[in-house]
Amino acid sequence: MEVLDIIRPENQVFCKTGLMTDATLTYCPGCGHGTAHNITMEVIDEMGVVEDTIGVAPVGCSVFAYDFMAVDMTQAAHGRAPAVATGIARTWPDKYVFTYQGDGDLAAIGTAETIHCCNRGENIVIIFVNNGIYGMTGGQMAPTTLPGMKTSTSPYGREIETMGSPIKMSELIANLPGTYYVTRQSVHTHKHVRKAKKAIRKAFENTRLKKGLSFVEIVSNCNSGWKMTPNESNIWMEEHMFPYYPLGDIKVNGKLKQVA
Amino acid sequence: MSELRLMKGNEALAEAAIRAGADAYFGYPITPQSEVIEYLMDQRPEKRTGMVVLQAESEIAAINMVYGAASSGKRVMTSSSSPGISLKMEGISYLAGAELPAVIVNVVRGGPGLGTIQPSQADYNQAVKGGGHGDYRMYVLAPASVQEMSDFVSDAFDIAFKYRTPVMILSDGLIGQMMEKVVLKDERKRLTDAEIDEKYGSWATTGRKGRERNIITSLYLEAERMEQRVRKLMNKYQRMEEEDLRYEMIHCDDAEYLFVAYGSSARIAQKAVELGREKGIKVGLLRPITLFPFPKKQLFELADQVKGVLSVEMNAGQMVDDVRLAVEHKVPVEHFGRTGGIIHTPEEILEALEQKIVKDGSIRHHTTREPSLL
Amino acid sequence: MTQEIIIAGFGGQGVLSMGKILAYAGMLQGEEVCWMPSYGPEMRGGTANVTVILSDDRISSPYLKVYDTAIILNQQSMDKFESAVKPGGVLVYDPNGITHHPTRSDIDIYQVDGYRLASEMGNKKVFNMILLGGFLKIKPVVKIENVLKGLKESLPERYHHLLPLNEEAINKGMQSIFAYDVEKQLVLEHA
């Protein structure tokens, strides 16, 4: 039997996500962004809504999201993706509009746009990748950087007294009446990837039902910025990030979950 | 059916946006232009035409909502006044860089800083020379009456879509707040989503239905590609100059002296022309209607005819630089203008012409013509 | 023909609406019109003024230094605008609260006792219409029928029952305007 005889559709058990382009990902090996991109595009593909989907790319590591996600995309100024998405969603109310943003973008420079977009309950999906650092500009402190964590702008560790505490965006915006679904996920193991994809699916289903704003936070690693190997960074994430940013649903169907 | 109304400039502009078939307006209140969003909210345009009107949380959010709607092919407008326009500059640079059509209205007040809420023309440089970062220009229309506040809205949308570029309507507190007779244009139907897909499907992010996907971005990390983009923009601006320059000449045929003024200053300067001619001073007025592109050639030619030029602006001297560049030292060019929200009177303008140009024009004439003395 | 008019007084005296009704009436009879207010915080209880221009031709400057007519409703405005009336022009004022009466002899000066008359009519808000009536008696720049149409247009419908009262106020003003002699400092004759 020749190799070509084996490569047949009926023998295929795994394939590249249809809605990812052939462009080489610019993310560092081990980074969670690629997986987050993948599952987002899988959801769009599986729901069969690619012709009605418009994405908004941020500024940060995922600034080139539009090179990788094979849907119509608009690149926004730093932090402004929720406002850009508002402009699209308000004038195209039947489309699936999503933003894909990092922590510097969403939780620092774009805090006002994030909060007010959530408060208005825009019928969009926000995918928020939180890795506690500014990756693209070379590992500076983010609003989500953990206490004591070393970055290039907190070389002796984040001091709460002078630099403030890391901000928990999901908990913050879950308290706004405009948000319908708020959840925190991760993509570092198969199990977590499956759960995160389910959450993203739920978010886009909410858009279909015009339920308002769905917010999916993905706690992720930044092995380059954290100066670790990919594996070390995942372990560090579990040990340090998850206690501060606990995984799970925070608000479902417009109702806050009881905190244990 | 056209309609006659007595309206404030700001209201006429808002009504014109509905009639121009605008799909959306995003704004934030600031004196002296809050009547725009107040009028729109009062009119329930979502019922009249389906137009979306939203009060954003800031001018920054508003311009980015504009960016979003524009990127998906919609006709969209925002308005503000000076401090708010400064906040919008980032978004305007992105609109220019990503080649998106949008209309931005600045009802100018005095500055810098929080400044004053009284009328001013101190944002000329910001509007005409850029304001935001990077190599770009805006097409800038300067209305001088309530009628033009109304008429220029649909003109601005046409230019915005013709060139896929942000267009600014540069008004001021005087034109925005005063009432005049205005003939309203007939209502233009909003494009349907299908029409938008058909007309702008080659670039707009409306969902990749039956076509390749579209990307809206202003990011080009490769220097060669970025330069290509800048060249493309510059070609566009060149074409604007050739095809869409607008200006008006008043009593220029026999003029020995010339005022150059735009917007409300042009109205006041026109009265100074009347007063001057009553006194026997043959003065004319060149009113640039577009500030970019600027009527350079017309000024260059008029400079062969007149003995001197006075640039009249409600600022400390901004357009005068462009006037001097256009005149190329053929005759003396001076500036006159009040600042801080003070409006100059026609009498003051005429007096400035007499003192700065008519009286010692001959001396300056000589010195400016002698390169050795420069 | 161009008529350049300034109306000046306190905020709340109906200065801006008087100007608006005048401009509206002008528009109805096919004239070019311009209404240019002072605006901003100064209007909250401070002085307010509005320039109204009516013309057969395109109107040039909406902002002026001198006027054909000044309608003056308080002392601050008198101090500011008496000198701004063109020689041969008209100054109409309400003497209520005026401590320094006008002194120019090169213009025509008239008094309308608007505040007192409005009080007598039982509605101080029609004060501005009494002044407008007086002015229109001296300078009939717009037809009364158009003024009434302008009034109807600028009053919200819930106040339309006040239209007859406003019309009465205009008539009252027309009957109650008197020439003022600056030398004798007296109201002389019925205008």
Q: Kindly list the partner chains of chain C, i.e. chains with 3 or more CB atom pairs below 8 Å.
A: B
Amino acid in the structure at residue C121: M
Report the residue of B192, B208, B220, B222 to disrupt the A interface, i.e. the one with the largest count of A CBs within 10 Å: B208
Does the CB of B250 have a partner CB in chain A at under 8 Å? no
Decide if C187 is inside a domain.
no
Decide if C44 is inside a domain.
yes
| Beta strands at A125-130 and A96-102: parallel, antiparallel or unpaired | parallel
Per-residue pLDDT at C189: 65
Listed residue (A94, A103, A91, A150) closest to A127, CA to CA: A103
Does the CB of A160 have a partner CB in chain B at under 8 Å? no
Decide if C62 is inside a domain.
yes
Q: CA B74 to CA A90: how far, in whole Å?
A: 11
Q: Around Cβ B164, how many Cβ atoms within 10 Å?
A: 18
Q: CA B295 to CA C123: how far, in whole Å?
A: 56
Q: CA C157 to CA C138: how far, in whole Å?
A: 30
Please list every residue in chain B whose beta carbon sits closer than 8 Å to the beta carbon of residue A57.
Answer: 217
Per-residue pLDDT at B29: 96
pLDDT one-digit tens code per residue, B137-187: 999 999 999 999 999 999 999 999 999 999 999 999 999 999 999 999 999
Tokens 């978010």 appear where?
A203
Please list every residue in chain B whose beta carbon sits closer than 8 Å to the beta carbon of residue C27.
Answer: 4, 6, 181
Using CB atoms, pick whichever of B32, B117, B268 lies closest to residue C63.
Answer: B268
CA distance B271 to chain C (A): 5
Q: How many helices (H) and strands (E) does chain C have?
A: 6, 8
Provide the CA B200 distance to its chain's centre, in angstroms.
Answer: 25
Cross-chain Cβ contact B209/A52 below 8 Å? yes
Distances (CA, A) of A75 to A54, B71, B95, B104: 11, 9, 11, 20
Tokens 């004038």 appear where?
A91
- A9: tokens are 């559709």
Does the CB of A74 have a partner CB in chain B at under 8 Å? yes
Phi, psi of B339 (to 5 degrees): -130, 180
pTM: 0.93
Q: Around Cβ C44, how many Cβ atoms within 10 Å?
A: 9
Residue C152 has pLDDT above 80, yes or no: yes
Decide if C190 is inside a domain.
no
In chain A, the domains with their CATH numbers are 26-256 (3.40.50.970)
pLDDT one-digit tens code per residue, A30-45: 999 999 999 999 999 9
Angle between helical axes of B223-243 and B146-163 (0-180°, round to 10): 140
CA distance C58 to chain B (A): 10
Query: What residues contact B294, with CB distance under 8 A and at least 6 apart?
Result: B128, B245, B288, B322, B326
Concatenating the DSSP letter of every residue in A63-108 gives: GGHHHHB-SEEEEPPTT-HHHHHHHHHHHSTTSEEEEEEEHHIIII
Q: Do chains B and C touch (3 or more CB pairs under 8 A)?
A: yes
- B118: tokens are 């009284």
The CATH number given to B248-373 is: 3.40.50.920
Angle between helical axes of C114-121 and C127-138 (0-180°, round to 10): 130
- Tell me the domain boundaries of chain B: 3-200, 248-373
Q: CA B38 to CA B86: how far, in whole Å?
A: 22
Listed residue (B175, B192, B75, B65) closest to B120, CA to CA: B175
> Per-residue confidence of chain B (374 residues) as pLDDT tens digits?
578 999 999 999 999 999 999 999 999 999 999 999 999 999 999 999 999 999 999 999 999 999 999 999 999 999 999 999 999 999 999 999 999 999 999 999 999 999 999 999 999 999 999 789 999 999 999 999 999 999 999 999 999 999 999 999 999 999 999 999 999 999 999 999 999 999 999 999 999 999 999 999 999 999 999 999 999 999 999 999 999 999 999 999 999 999 999 999 999 999 999 999 999 999 999 999 999 999 999 999 999 999 999 999 999 999 999 999 999 999 999 999 999 999 999 999 999 999 999 985 444 444 444 443 33
Are C10 and C73 spatial neighbours (Cβ–Cβ below 8 Å)? yes
Q: How many domains does chain C have?
A: 1
Q: Which residues of chain A have pLDDT under 70?
A: 259-260
Using CB atoms, pick whichever of B6, B174, B348 lies closest to residue C62.
Answer: B174
Q: CA B297 to CA B307: how far, in whole Å?
A: 17
Cβ neighbourhood burial of C74 (10 Å; 0-12, 13-18, 19+): buried
Decide if C188 is inside a domain.
no
Decide if C67 is inside a domain.
yes
Task: With residue C85 as reference, give the H or E element that holds it.
Answer: strand C85-93
* Nearest-by-CA chain B residue for A109: B60
Q: Around Cβ B336, how many Cβ atoms within 10 Å?
A: 25
Using CB atoms, pick whichever of B57, B58, B66 lies closest to residue A87.
Answer: B66
Amino acid in the structure at residue B231: R
Residues 166-225 of B with CB under 8 A from A: 193, 205-210, 213-219
Provide the CA C12 distance to its chain's centre, in angstroms.
Answer: 14
What residues pair up with B28 in beta bridges, in sequence order?
Answer: none
Handedness of CA B201, B207, B208, B214 (dihedral sign): positive
Report the residue of C54, C57, C63, C149 to disrupt the B interface, i.e. the one with the largest count of B CBs within 10 Å: C63
* Nearest-by-CA chain A residue for B57: A116
Using CB atoms, pick whichever of B52, B205, B210 lies closest to residue A72.
Answer: B205
Using CB atoms, pick whichever of A72, A74, A90 lies closest to residue B208.
Answer: A72
Are B24 and B56 spatial neighbours (Cβ–Cβ below 8 Å)? no
Q: Looking at residue C99, which CATH number applies to its domain?
A: 3.40.920.10
Please list every residue in chain B whose beta carbon sits closer than 8 Å to the beta carbon of residue A105.
Answer: none
- Rg of chain C over Cα atoms, rounded to whole angstroms, equals 15
Amino acid in the structure at residue B26: F
Report the residue of B76, B214, B215, B221 to disrupt the A interface, i.e. the one with the largest count of A CBs within 10 Å: B215
Cross-chain Cβ contact B178/C24 below 8 Å? no
Does the CB of C65 have a partner CB in chain B at under 8 Å? yes
Task: With residue B107 as reference, give the H or E element that holds it.
Answer: strand B102-108
Task: With residue A143 as reference, give the H or E element that holds it.
Answer: none
pLDDT one-digit tens code per residue, C122-141: 998 999 999 999 999 999 99
Q: CA A115 to CA A96: how far, in whole Å?
A: 20
Cross-chain Cβ contact A91/B66 below 8 Å? no
DSSP-derived letter for residue A227 is T
Cross-chain Cβ contact C61/B6 below 8 Å? no
Helix (H, G, I), strand (E, B) or coil at B12: helix
Tokens 């009639």 appear where?
B19
Domain with C84 in it: 2-182
Does the CB of B55 have a partner CB in chain A at under 8 Å? no
Report the residue of C27, C34, C60, C152 to disrupt the B interface, i.e. the one with the largest count of B CBs within 10 Å: C60
- Quick one: fold of B3-200? Rossmann fold (3.40.50)
